[in-house]
Chain A
Amino acid sequence: MTAMQAPSTFQETRPLLRVEALSKTFVVGKTFIPGSGQSVRAVDTVSFDVFPGETLGLVGESGCGKSTLGRCLMRLHDVSAGRIVLDGVDIAPLSPRQLRPYRRHMQMIFQDPAASLNPRRRVGDLLAEPLRVHNMASRTGIAQRLRELMDIVSLPAAFLDRYPHEFSGGQRQRIGIARALALEPKLIVADEPVSALDVSVQAQIVNLFSDLRKRLQLTTLFIAHDLSVVRQVSERTAVMYLGSIAEIGPTDLLFRSPAHPYTQALLSAIPVPSVAPARRRDRILLKGEIPSPANPPSGCRFHPRCPAAQERCKTERPTLTGLPDGRQVACHFPFSLQTA
């Protein structure tokens, strides 16, 4: 792997998705009393690109803002600030009505396919629904498209007549994926799509994502808390901490030599399924847990837990800065915890 020298082929093309300084603030506990309510900045000034045909992995621990970011991109949330440029159009300021023609270009895949599939409708109807809503096919065209979709996710066409509850978790996720693909979206946001599945079944769905990327040149933001899954499916990986990107770059580079102390700690915390000592990284045990985004620490958001923190980190917030090797990192002292 030569990610260091060779520029990624993706970077030469125009990004399909450009996210610029995106922020999302929730106000919680608001009452009629003026000034009540607490604002929670779940996504804080996030910028990144996703290139056509690329899978960008997004990792980070629960509550760091992955789902909120994904939902903002889908415009399932209003955004508080920033731009979301999808194929040249900034969709961040659009009203629901203005958004309508863009909806079919972006689709989401959820963790729990059961919750997103209406149990009273047959699989065929579930898949046909988006096609009808968006006037995408004639009656005969629909039948053919449904068989095509089932083929893409490796399910027999006979399943079209069955109901979601008749399927296992893995099969339901295949149906969820087929549904998201029905409209040939430009961008897929998959939010923890394999987290609820057993390992053996998880591997099937991870393989399906790899196949789809190759076969359909899908552009995907793949959100997961499991780093090994993200490594397997994505060309580039972004690591989030408390609403911001800590590090983003080519997947092989990040996993081989993480620069941000948080990426290093996260990687070192994963139990490796091997008893060979050579496979183990020295563990960096972090203290405490992620602070509440309602009351974030000063300076670098990671400083109260960072084993490499220095005085400067308490006051001065690091910005995401490019390194010569092609990644970006938000840390005053990158590589200071080198363990390898």
Chain B
Amino acid sequence: MSAPLLDVRGLSISFAGRNGPIGVIEDLSFQVHEQETLCIVGESGSGKTVALLSMLGLLDPLSSRVQGSASFKGKDILSASRETLRQLRGREIALISQDPMTAMTPVHTIGWQIVEQIRAHTDMSSRAAWNRAIELLGEVGIANPRMIVGQYPHQLSGGMRQRAMIAMALSCNPSLLIADEPTTALDVTVQAQVLDLLRRLRRDFGSSIVLITHDMGVVAEMADRVLVMYAGRIVEHGPCEAIFADAWHPYTWGLLDSIPPLDGPRPDRLVSIPGSPPQPDKRPPGCVFAPRCRARTAICAEPPPRQAANGRDALCFIDYADRQARRFGLAENMDQPA
């Protein structure tokens, strides 16, 4: 296999807290290969956004501490200069963030911003760039692109802004598109359009995509490989098919089982994960998931090993021979809030 496009190793991030540094990301390692879609899934607060911001040099260096390494096309990006990263972000890596307002300038029209973006990276004439902007806005599902190009970000609805930002990100045909919950604020019919768009981007331009989401449905639809994050750690990683067919980690079981089904019989009750995710400064020692884990045993008070086989791994004590029995033997419902 060729060298990965993005290679992250041992990434740890902490923020300055009132009583010393608070670790938010713990020893994160993963690769993104050419033309692949990697989904990062996990509940809010698990550290998905912080991890990607650190790789793009977008964390405040005064209040955060980043350790480990990250390289893009073989070049170190964690220690790269601001200018190098800025160039990289426009040309090779595009970021679609959760909040479109951060990526836009309030004083310029949508069209102006897309045209600027296109002209910075190509030698297109401004007329051609303007037409391309209209075309891109149409492609992201905006019904009246000719009108929208002349509007300012604050004049658009949240969904329209999100789509305008996607259009902007697509304008430079990035080799890596990092999309942080790009459809979370959108309605399902619009989400379907946007996911379709991302798939086409990958097919037509060969871009790699890192898609951050909390929706297992989106993961099933989009991912080649999946990282499951919980409390700042990768608790499970593997090919999409394998994880949906046979998840290894009890947290992944919980994520999958807590979704109400759209067809078949309706269960009397959903299998939920008890309690809620811990704040970064309240994470337990040993296995971070232990307080909410139905399969926990006494040994889980110790840090669990990363067990790996067949191109996948999980951060858990459960022996692979035991997994099925442990998952489906957990009949009792621990629905009480912790």
Contacts and interface: CB of A to CB of B under 8 A. Distances in A.
Contacts of B193: 285-286
Main secondary structure of the interface of B (DSSP, over half): loop
Q: Interface size bucket, B side?
A: 35 or more
A154 to B, nearest CB: 6
Contact of B262 (A199, A203, A206, A227): A227
B260 A275 contact: no
Contacts of B214: 198-199
Nearest to B239: A275
B272 A198 contact: no
Nearest to B213: A271
A105 interface: no
Interface stretch (B23-31, B80-88, B170-178, B215-223): B215-223
Interface string A279-297: 1000101111110000000
B120 to A, nearest CB: 29
Contacts of B122: none
Contacts of A202: 258
A307 to B, nearest CB: 12
B19 interface: no
A140 interface: no
Contacts of A289: 141-143, 159-160, 187, 189-190
A228 B260 contact: yes
Interface stretch (B65-73, B240-248, B299-307, B314-322): B240-248
Interface residues of A, number: 49
Contact of A272 (B43, B255, B262, B274): B262
Contact of B241 (A200, A206, A275): A275
30 contacts: A154-B337, A168-B276, A198-B214, A199-B255, A199-B259, A200-B258, A200-B272, A201-B272, A202-B258, A203-B271, A204-B272, A210-B268, A210-B269, A211-B269, A225-B187, A225-B188, A228-B259, A232-B260, A271-B192, A271-B220, A272-B217, A272-B220, A273-B217, A275-B240, A275-B241, A275-B244, A285-B193, A287-B141, A289-B141, A289-B187
In the A-B complex, list the 4 residue pairs whose CB atoms are closest, starting with the nearest.
A271-B217, A203-B272, A200-B273, A203-B258
Interface of B: 43-44, 141-143, 159-160, 187-193, 195-196, 214-221, 240-241, 244-245, 254-256, 258-263, 265-277, 292, 335-337
Given A155-B337, A289-B141, A289-B160, 14 more contacts: A61-B188, A62-B159, A200-B255, A203-B258, A203-B259, A225-B188, A232-B260, A265-B189, A270-B262, A272-B262, A273-B216, A285-B192, A285-B193, A287-B141
